[in-house]
Structure 1
Amino acid sequence: MPDDATLLALLDAAALANGIPVDPAWRPEVLANFRAVANAARAFLPFPLEDESEPAPVFRA
């Protein structure tokens, strides 16, 4: 899990790269969202994927 300093650096870089101003009052909420996404990603990172794996073009229930 990345620490808060790393996530804040990611936030600043992503906002700058996309030209999105981030109100300082929103930073804690955006940081909390980044933490939640990082936690969710941890469940999938160990799952092995072959180099040939591609997303399905159509998903059906």
Structure 2
Amino acid sequence: MTATNPDHLDDYIDAAARAMALPLEDGWRPAVRANLDVSLRLARLVDEFPLPDDAVSAAIYSA
């Protein structure tokens, strides 16, 4: 699925709403679609970020 193909996003939204038995009013669709598009774009940035082969995840996370 790519963020540049609107048909895929609409199909995914419909399928996800059906799978989770969530009502999806037509008025919500643009906001849901925009949020999904932004989420996919951000996920692509994270996925494409190069990491060295010896990178190790942190054992402890703190804020």
TM-score range, shorter chain: 0.7 to 0.9
RMSD of Structure 2 on Structure 1 (CA): 2.2
- Counterparts in 2 of 1:1-61, with a 5 A limit? 1-2=2-3, 3-47=5-49, 59-61=61-63
Bigger relative contact order (CA 8 A; separation at least 6)? 1
State the alpha-carbon separation in 2 of the partners of residues 60 and 25 from structure 1: 39
State the alpha-carbon separation in 2 of the partners of residues 9 and 58 from structure 1: 39
Query: Structure 1, unaligned stretches of length 5 or more?
Result: 50-54
How many pairs were matched up?
A: 56
Moved over 6 A (4+): none
Larger gyration radius, structure 1 or structure 2: 2
Query: Structure 2, unaligned stretches of length 5 or more?
Result: 52-56
